[in-house]
Amino acid sequence: MSDENENTCYKCGYCRWIFADHCENYLLHTCFQKFSFENGEELVADADEILSVASKEGDILSPNPVDASGDLDEQLISLVASRKALFDASLPLIERTYFKKKNLWNEVENNLGGQMKQDDIKARWKYLRDCYIKAKRKVTTYKASGSGATNTKVGFRFFLKPCVF
């Protein structure tokens, strides 16, 4: 970040915050305060002027890393849930263009800290969404009166999080 251009407008790679031209210290931003910058981490800008924190090896780090007992699927669901254009077809087309969705998927990838590539993230999201739809269909299918059918158990563990599916 030493060769900053005075007219450059940077954007946070984690929360999409656009930094004003007069911003003097990007490290005071809440997303970047989660990092210590003592182990060789540094603030880097990509070609699209998006700021992220990278390790000394060059890997993009996540401000919300998944701990050993954490669940990557839950984190993926929460990241996608905060970006409606990725799943809500009722939004106007102007809000969910190809480039806007591509940028949103880049943000999800940055927030996962390079644990998955963008194609893998999209495939995993499609898998989770399809599992939810299948589980919902299983619960809501018609059961004939007197059929003796019992309530079906839902096997999808994220079934109670329908907000994004």
Q: What is the 3-state secondary structure (H, E, C) of 43-63?
A: EEECCCCEEEEECCCCCECCC
Say if residue 31 is exposed, middle or buried (CB neighbours under 10 Å; 0-12, 13-18, 19+): buried
Amino acid at 81: A
Contacts of 106 (CB under 8 A, 6+ apart): 13, 50, 118
pLDDT in tens, 89-130: 899 999 999 999 998 998 888 888 777 888 999 999 998 888
What's the residue count for the chain?
165
Residue 79: how many CB atoms within 10 A of its CB? 23
- Counting residues of the chain whose pLDDT is more than 70, the rounded percentage is 72
- Chain centroid, CA 123 distance in Å: 13
Return the pLDDT at 2: 46
**pLDDT exceeds cutoff 60 at 163:** no
Measured CA to CA in angstroms, residue 59 lies from 40, 70, 72, 139 at distances of: 12, 21, 18, 43
Contacts of 40 (CB under 8 A, 6+ apart): 55, 56
Mean pLDDT of 6-32: 72
Return the pLDDT at 70: 47
Contact 76, 126 (CB under 8 A): no
Does residue 106 sit in helix, strand or coil? helix
